Amino acid sequence: AECADGTCCVVLYHGAKGEQCKGVAIWDLGGWVHPGGSIVTASSLCGLVRYNWRAHTNNHVGEDAESGQTLSGGGERVGTYTHPGCSSLSPSPPPPFSPPPPPSKPPPPFSPPPPPSPSPSPPPYPPGTTVFDDVVTFNVTFAADCASFNETALQRRLAYLLDVEPARVFLSVACGSVLVSVQIVAPNRPAAEALVQTLSAEVLSSEQAASDALGEEVIQVGLV
């Protein structure tokens, strides 16, 4: 017989998982009371498979919970349980003998592949197309004079505004009105195109926009 529906049953292994692959007892705990006291109750064991049962307390040391017919405290054996993982521990039979395949034909002598054909030159850009290089250049003329102009502050402000490293922003300053030629070195063409878009939106749209963005009054601004 097995554990009937609605019955409180448990399986108890003496040792660790995988040490015992023979069938062990299934215990009905309907009338069982833990011999070591109320620290363990039948309801806490219902439907479980427990390991290291003998190690939990000295009350279990002499208990044969795997193959006995009675369980101290009133447990009744109602069936036999085999751990489902034990089938995976059985050695697989050796594969049937297959004769070795006949020797294959030797490969043909190596011939190097032909060199790739040269790529055709790209067509020329149509008139009016803007070609972006890795360097973005624009000029800006400030109303300030050279004595009060802070070149380092402008370099850092542009780097922050365009999210690039300050070392990629180069300034060439000519005095009179302060004419600054700005070169920003991008790592590649897509990055240069993104810089131009940001500059167009944040700086180059008007002198007022440039003044607001750069923190100085701007007289003229534009891409080179």
**pLDDT by residue, tens only, the chain of 224 residues:** 477 888 899 999 988 888 888 899 999 998 888 887 788 888 888 989 999 887 776 666 677 889 988 888 889 999 999 887 775 555 556 667 777 777 777 777 777 778 877 766 655 545 554 555 588 888 888 887 777 888 888 889 988 888 889 989 898 888 766 788 888 888 888 888 988 888 888 888 888 988 888 888 888 888 87
In this structure, are residues 140 and 223 in contact, taking their beta carbons and an 8 Å threshold? Answer: no
Region at 152 (left for phi over 0; alpha for psi -120 to 50; beta for the rest): alpha
Determine the Cα–Cα distance for residues 81 and 22; give it in Å rounded to an integer: 8
Supply the pTM of this predicted model: 0.38
Helices marked H in 14-125: 53-56
